[in-house]
């Protein structure tokens, strides 16, 4: 499998034609993802600590978007990394790397330097861990795709909310289905 053939990377979501999830947008693939059931947001409340670069694009509005996700039925956990012990922080970072390994995108360079793993995790670079189904590895944002595209927390949450709204036309409120089977994930390669 060459770098260009990878389909596990998340290049930005689009609602698929059926409206039952998010299309990964990768050329030649339809990767339908269920809506998230739970997200964990690692971030300090002090914006002065955050880097002002591409990884944090749109982060200033993410708290409000997460509240909207919560109203839509998604469980949202908020964690201030400054309240964690060094071991707890490394454990949280280790959880964030699982989707990156399985789906072949980079978070190591997003959250730390080569000799200092997780040194920016949650503080200088907020992190969002996404659980979509009980048996899925989930996703971590921000991350960098195989094509060197940074997918931000803001991008993921905004596009998820748009897809959730579109799945319930004419409704002001929406609920994520209790059964993850309603949004079963599938992958079709061309």
Domain 35-166 has CATH 3.30.420: no
Confidence of residue 137 (pLDDT cuts 50, 70, 90): confident
Does residue 142 have a cis peptide bond before it, meaning omega lies within 30 degrees of 0? yes
| DSSP character at residue 181 | G
Task: Decide if 108 contacts 100 (C-beta within 8 A).
Answer: yes
Confidence of residue 149 (pLDDT cuts 50, 70, 90): very high
pLDDT of residue 162: 92
Mean pLDDT (whole number) for 158-180 = 66
Q: What share of the chain is helix, strand, coil (3-state, %, to 5)?
A: 35, 20, 45
Confidence of residue 25 (pLDDT cuts 50, 70, 90): very low
Report if pTM > 0.75: no
Percent share of the chain, pLDDT over 90: 57
Task: State pLDDT tens for residues 78-123.
Answer: 999 999 999 999 999 999 999 999 999 999 999 998 788 899 999 9
Confidence of residue 171 (pLDDT cuts 50, 70, 90): low
Strands 38-42 and 75-79: parallel
User: Sign (positive/negative) of CA torsion 58, 62, 98, 104?
Assistant: negative
CA geometry: angle 163, 150, 93, nearest 5 deg: 95
Within a 13 Å sphere around the CA of 7, how many CA atoms are in the beta-carbon half? Answer: 13
pLDDT for residue 169 is more than 80: no
Pick 4 or 73 by higher pLDDT: 73
pLDDT for residue 17 is more than 80: no
Distance CA 43, CA 56 (A): 11
3-state SS assignment for residue 90: helix
Task: State pLDDT tens for residues 177-186.
Answer: 333 333 223 2
Pick 13 or 150 by higher pLDDT: 150
Strands 38-42 and 127-131: antiparallel
């Amino acid at each position: 499998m060459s770098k260009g053939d990878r389909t596990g990377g998340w290049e930005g979501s689009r609602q698929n034609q059926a409206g039952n999830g998010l299309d990964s947008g990768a050329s030649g693939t339809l990767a339908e993802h269920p809506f998230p059931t739970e997200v964990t947001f690692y971030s300090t409340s002090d914006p002065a600590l955050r880097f002002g670069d591409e990884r944090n694009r749109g982060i200033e509005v993410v708290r409000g978007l997460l509240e909207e996700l919560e109203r839509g039925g998604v469980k949202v956990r908020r964690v201030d990394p400054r309240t964690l012990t060094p071991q707890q922080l490394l454990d949280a970072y280790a959880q964030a790397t699982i989707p990156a390994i399985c789906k072949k995108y980079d978070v190591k360079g997003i959250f730390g330097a080569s000799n200092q793993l997780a040194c920016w995790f949650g503080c200088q670079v907020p992190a969002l861990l996404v659980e979509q189904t009980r048996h899925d590895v989930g996703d971590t944002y921000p991350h960098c795709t195989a094509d060197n595209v940074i997918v931000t927390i803001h991008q993921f949450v905004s596009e998820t909310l748009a897809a959730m709204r579109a799945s319930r036309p004419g409704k002001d409120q929406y609920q994520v289905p209790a059964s993850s089977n309603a949004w079963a994930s599938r992958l079709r390669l061309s």
